[in-house]
Structure 1
Amino acid sequence: MKSIQKQLFTGLALALTLLSSACKKNDIDNSGQFLLKVVNASPTAGPQTFTLAGTILVNTGLDYKESSNYISSPSGTRLVAEYKNQGTNSVFASGEIWTANNISQTVYLAGQGSKARVKVFTDDLATPNNGQVKIKFIDFSDNGPSLVKIRNGSGDELVGSLPRNEDSGYKYISPGLLTVQISGITGNSSVTLSVPDLQAGKIYTIYFTDAADGSMVANTVLHN
């Protein structure tokens, strides 16, 4: 009986330890590093600083459409990410980052007002070959459909189904001007947007968001 009770106690203690670890915020792995790019994709937020796990990574305010360089930071799980109004300690929006050693990620402040949110995506920084451009799409528009498809200016499908707040995965296109048509999966109406001057050998994220006047716009983040 004592042996059984000891085994049960040991098992319970282990389970509680694992549960506590899984629920712990800012579970930092000081032995490893990852790279993080910080973007302000919220048109009405104003300049933002950025703090991760209590450490300020961006202390000069990022305006709408601006991004930082990649910043090296200790990796870990449930790292608290906070965008703060420049010059204050007021949190505009917060979220969590789960990361791993030696990867590259980009974190975005998206949305406006009560819909402001923090979203993070893992990046692949391998350079495209043969003069191509490597791109992925993210839809942050709250005014448009929650599920969209994307075609190029010729009507060829680039992305068949893109949910809001998710990325499309990488696509390879020719450099220069990119025109895209964005529409709902079940609707016939579409919005046409243009992204100029995409450079060969470069990696971009093209994100859609709502401008201050409510219209959809396309912005880019350069990753290399």
Structure 2
Amino acid sequence: MKIFTKRVSNAFLPIIFIFSLTLISCSKNEPDVIVQGQAKIKLINAVEPEIKQEVFMDNEKLTTAPLAFGETSGYIKILSGNRNLSYVGSNNMNTNTSLNFTPSITYSAFLVSDRNGNKQIINYNLSNADLSTAKVRFINLTPFFAAGINVSIQAGSPFINALLFKEDSNYFNVDGGAALRCNVVGSGSVKTISASDLLPGKIYTIWFSGLTAATLEPHIILDN
């Protein structure tokens, strides 16, 4: 009886071995599975004149209400990876693009237009905060100033020179109590951003609109 039992167990060893390998291989992660995280996005309609825009990502609506010119959504959590982003105007005109989003990164997606009315989506990501100063970047989203836009601190020399359409600046640390002055290059018409609008520890994106030098307008977005 003992000999019979031993022979039977030996005969089943290869089967048990193969079954074990099958279990191990099934427990491994599938090589084609892509692990996705979350990113965040803020949506901005930067197109003049005002045409309200609904925004969709992979055919899923992100906006709770259409965005008029100058309006900004709150931050929206999205899956990272390659996504299709679409702005659809109240005139049913569709502007879309494919964007790649990295997990844990925060983005701002602007709808912009050139002088001929051709629209596109421009996407920018966010920097980290500095608790002792305000952190500010600038984006020129008006195509009507060929010479660009200057930005300076109060009466000082410009630290941004001739920022052109669709260009974004580096981030700058601005000390508390410092007002900013903005103007179209060569124009004496100046717009001031009050020091009280830029708080230490906060991150800001300031984007520009305007049809003429006199109507240059800085739009301040709080990014954190």
**Do they fold alike, i.e. is TM over 0.5?**
yes
Corresponding position: 1:49 with 2:47: no
**Which residue number in structure 1 is paired with residue 78 of structure 2?**
73
**Separation of aligned partners in 2, 1:85 and 1:111:** 13
Across the aligned residues of Structure 1 and Structure 2, the Cα RMSD in angstroms comes to: 2.7
Q: Report the alpha carbon displacement of residue 93 of structure 1 after superposing the two structures with TM.
A: 2.6
Between 48-57 and 195-204, report the one with greater CA deviation. 195-204
Corresponding position: 1:128 with 2:130: yes
Q: Report the alpha carbon displacement of residue 172 of structure 1 after superposing the two structures with TM.
A: 1.0
**Which residue number in structure 1 is paired with residue 173 of structure 2?**
172
**Separation of aligned partners in 2, 1:104 and 1:31:** 15
Return the TM-score normalized by structure 1. 0.72
Q: Report the alpha carbon displacement of residue 162 of structure 1 after superposing the two structures with TM.
A: 2.9
Corresponding position: 1:84 with 2:88: yes
**Which residue number in structure 2 is paired with residue 208 of structure 1?**
208
Q: Report the alpha carbon displacement of residue 152 of structure 1 after superposing the two structures with TM.
A: 2.7
Q: Following superposition of structure 1 onto structure 2, how do residues 29-48 of structure 1 map, counting pairs within 5 Å?
A: 31-48=36-53
Between 160-169 and 68-77, report the one with greater CA deviation. 160-169
2:110 to 108, 111, 117: 108
Q: Kindly provide the CA deviation profile for residues 39-73 of structure 1, in whole angstroms up to 9, marking residues without a partner as x.
A: 11223233221112222111311222221121111
**Which residue number in structure 2 is paired with residue 156 of structure 1?**
157
More strand by share: 1
Return the TM-score normalized by structure 2. 0.72
Corresponding position: 1:141 with 2:151: no
Between 63-72 and 107-116, report the one with greater CA deviation. 107-116
Segments of structure 1 that go 5 or more residues without pairing to the other structure are 1-28
For the Cα contact (< 8 Å) 2:187–2:213, is it kept in 1?
Answer: no
**Separation of aligned partners in 2, 1:81 and 1:91:** 14
Q: 2:220 is aligned with what amino acid?
A: T
Between 47-56 and 211-220, report the one with greater CA deviation. 211-220
Bigger Rg, structure 1 or 2: 2
Give the secondary structure class of the aligned counterpart of 2:36. strand
Change (3 A) 1:110 1:146: farther
Q: Work out the number of aligned pairs and report it.
A: 188
Give the secondary structure class of the aligned counterpart of 1:73. strand
For the Cα contact (< 8 Å) 2:183–2:213, is it kept in 1?
Answer: no
Give the secondary structure class of the aligned counterpart of 2:50. coil
Q: 2:85 is aligned with what amino acid?
A: A
**Which residue number in structure 2 is paired with residue 99 of structure 1?**
101
Change (3 A) 1:209 1:92: farther
For the Cα contact (< 8 Å) 1:30–1:74, is it kept in 2?
Answer: no
Change (3 A) 1:213 1:147: closer
For the Cα contact (< 8 Å) 2:189–2:214, is it kept in 1?
Answer: no
**Separation of aligned partners in 2, 1:95 and 1:178:** 37
